[in-house]
Structure 1
Amino acid sequence: MPLRPAYLSKLKVQENMLAYLFLAPSLLLFGVFLFYPLLKSVYLSLHSTDPAGRIAAYVGFDNFNALFTSGLFLDGIRVTALFALLTVPTGLLLALVLAALTHNQLRGKRLFQFAFSLPMVLSVGSAAVIWKFLFHPTLGMLNYLLELAGMTPVAWLVNPDTALLSISLMTVWMNLGFNYIILSSGMQGISDEIYESARIDGAGAVTVFRKITLPLLSPTLFFVLVVSIISAFQAFGQINILTAGGPMNSTNVFVYSIYREAFVNFRFGTGSAQALMLFLVIMLLTLIQFKWVERKVHYQ
């Protein structure tokens, strides 16, 4: 009997070692591609660098001070927040409506699901090139349709007032497939017996959607909301291809500002400081959502 606790302790150590052995490949990948770049960014943010990226001198928090005093941080966050406000609610609402419309057993349902999911298979670069042709001021399809309707053509990407809206339109379309698939899958996970009971009690379609579908779908909606906000704050590809941060910095979101500071101006210290600030902002937004928004989530 006295040997039993020692034996159990030894068995537990062996199980933990076996678990870490299986986790080792994943931990190695995380270390190389996540933790090391993060630590390297912290190190670079405290130093100034030459155009070749070599460490020139230790500057402490001067890079962070320059970030706030120059207005780069506030301008980047303002544009990024506006971009998120234009894309996240619109994309979430459209995907929810489309998922609700195709949830019932309608004729041609699979065809509609395929059409709505199609944008997800395109890369950001391919989608941006397609929309760049659509946004062309003279040859683009969008202005052609506006002229047919008797409306004035729009300078989609060259007008500071419409450039961010244009990129938001393309981003909503690009993310619609992912949002639609996730929400549609969430709706399919709701038992039909619940809907049948509600209809027997005399509940209409609107009441069923508001009182049953939305509460039971809230975990899925919360997941899509968190992922969409993070994706909006990390948007880069479509902005780099369509506007390159212009015109007049109207689309200079925070990630593109980091790219331009580090790989165009070759100020890797300031770029690393911006990247760390973006990391903190995204982490703060995620924590806020889990603390307050998740209270509205109904887990079965």
Structure 2
Amino acid sequence: MTSLEKPGIWKKTTNGRTALLYLLPSIVLFSVFVFYPMFRTIYLSFFLTDQNGNAAIWVGFENYTYLLESTAFLNSMKATGLFVLYTVPIGIILALFFALLANEKLKGIGFFRTVYSSTMGISVAASSVIWLFMFNPSMGMFNRMLSMLNLPQIQWLLDPEWALLSVSISTIWMNIGFSFLILLGGLQNIDEHLYESSRIDGAGYFYRLRRITLPMLSPTLFFIITISLINAFQSFGQIDILTQGGPSASTNLIVYSIYREAFINYQFGTASAQAVTLFIIILIVTILQFKLGERRVHYQ
């Protein structure tokens, strides 16, 4: 028995070492760029720091207490929540609508597929500059359209009531290409025989959409919703270019608040506490998404 068991144990050990050897580059990269910054951030959140970001004075949970009592941080959380509410549902609904259109077998549909997915090829910085010109109060396209309709002009990025909505519109446009491509791929993977059988039974388009398309597309929708939620909480580039958190902190999302606290005010301790808080919020939202949303996912 012993002589038979030893080769098996030796083989398992060898396979384990080989697997670790293949995983070593990934482990090193994750350790340097993910795990170390994460634990460093948690560590600094319990300290007051100097201008170089080094821990100076231990304060425990005072940074977190300060955040919970800070009106500015609570406003940032409110703005972030509204931003997520504006961008995620509308972006996914529009992407699904375009994917359903592009999935139809029509002549020249490839052109529209290219147009719908084209926003993926534009960086956040470039697209934000484009939207910055379109939102310009004097030369922008939107105010010119309003003037043609004899409607009052809007200070899109300068009015606190419109700034967050304006940034949300640009964000929806930026993200729609990725969501569209993923949803279109999911639609094209649905078995065509299901539609053929439903047509024979006399089912209409909307019945097929409700009973076949959406249930079979639910794993893809679940993925897109989860990714879109996480990306919305982490939005930064368009805020920095379009509004820089203003006006009156109406677009000061948590990520931008972290940036300002760390690299403008040099308060790395409170910035780290904000980052940890954001991580906890995203973790809770993701867990809820898996607990509640996955129940309606059909994998077969």
What range describes the TM-score normalised by the shorter chain of this pair? over 0.9
**Aligned equivalent of 1:249:** 249
Does 2:83 match 1:76? no
**Aligned equivalent of 1:232:** 232
Aligned counterparts of 2:150 and 2:298: Cα–Cα separation in 1:
48
**Aligned equivalent of 2:181:** 181
Cα shift at 1:73? 3.8
**Aligned equivalent of 2:85:** 85
Does 2:220 match 1:212? no
Cα shift at 1:72? 4.1
Aligned counterparts of 1:210 and 1:190: Cα–Cα separation in 2:
14
What are the within-5 Å matches in structure 2 for residues 133-148 of structure 1? 133-148=133-148
How big is each residue's C-alpha offset from its partner over 1:126-155, in whole Å with a ceiling of 9 and x where there is no partner?
Answer: 010000000000000111112122222211
RMSD: 0.9
**Aligned equivalent of 1:2:** 2
- Which amino acid counterpart does residue 90 of structure 2 have in structure 1? T
How big is each residue's C-alpha offset from its partner over 1:243-285, in whole Å with a ceiling of 9 and x where there is no partner?
Answer: 0101011101110011111111000000001000100110110
Does 2:207 match 1:199? no
Aligned counterparts of 1:135 and 1:220: Cα–Cα separation in 2:
34
TM-score of the pair, normalised by structure 2: 0.98
Cα shift at 1:74? 2.6
**Aligned equivalent of 1:262:** 262
Aligned counterparts of 2:51 and 2:229: Cα–Cα separation in 1:
33
- Which amino acid counterpart does residue 159 of structure 2 have in structure 1? N
- Which amino acid counterpart does residue 138 of structure 1 have in structure 2? S
**Aligned equivalent of 2:276:** 276
1:51 aligned counterpart, secondary structure: coil
Count matched residues: 300
% identical equivalent positions: 49
How big is each residue's C-alpha offset from its partner over 1:163-191, in whole Å with a ceiling of 9 and x where there is no partner?
Answer: 00000000000001000000000000001
Aligned counterparts of 1:292 and 1:244: Cα–Cα separation in 2:
35
Does 2:109 match 1:103? no
Aligned counterparts of 1:293 and 1:78: Cα–Cα separation in 2:
24
**Aligned equivalent of 2:287:** 287
**Aligned equivalent of 1:19:** 19
How big is each residue's C-alpha offset from its partner over 1:188-242, in whole Å with a ceiling of 9 and x where there is no partner?
Answer: 0001111000000000011111110000000000000000000000000000110
**Aligned equivalent of 2:169:** 169
**Aligned equivalent of 2:51:** 51
Aligned counterparts of 2:149 and 2:299: Cα–Cα separation in 1:
48
- Which amino acid counterpart does residue 101 of structure 1 have in structure 2? L
2:298 aligned counterpart, secondary structure: coil
Cα shift at 1:58? 1.3
Gapped runs of 5+ residues in structure 1?
A: none
Cα shift at 1:55? 2.2
Aligned counterparts of 1:44 and 1:283: Cα–Cα separation in 2:
20
2:247 aligned counterpart, secondary structure: coil
Aligned counterparts of 1:75 and 1:283: Cα–Cα separation in 2:
21
Question: More displaced, 44-53 or 81-90?
Answer: 44-53
Aligned counterparts of 1:12 and 1:108: Cα–Cα separation in 2:
56
- Which amino acid counterpart does residue 98 of structure 1 have in structure 2? F
Aligned counterparts of 1:9 and 1:233: Cα–Cα separation in 2:
47
Aligned counterparts of 1:279 and 1:262: Cα–Cα separation in 2:
16
Cα shift at 1:288? 0.5
**Aligned equivalent of 2:114:** 114
Question: More displaced, 5-14 or 175-184?
Answer: 5-14
Gapped runs of 5+ residues in structure 2?
A: none
- Which amino acid counterpart does residue 141 of structure 2 have in structure 1? M
Aligned counterparts of 1:95 and 1:150: Cα–Cα separation in 2:
32
How big is each residue's C-alpha offset from its partner over 1:87-112, in whole Å with a ceiling of 9 and x where there is no partner?
Answer: 00000000001111111111111100
Aligned counterparts of 2:96 and 2:104: Cα–Cα separation in 1:
14
Aligned counterparts of 1:147 and 1:195: Cα–Cα separation in 2:
48
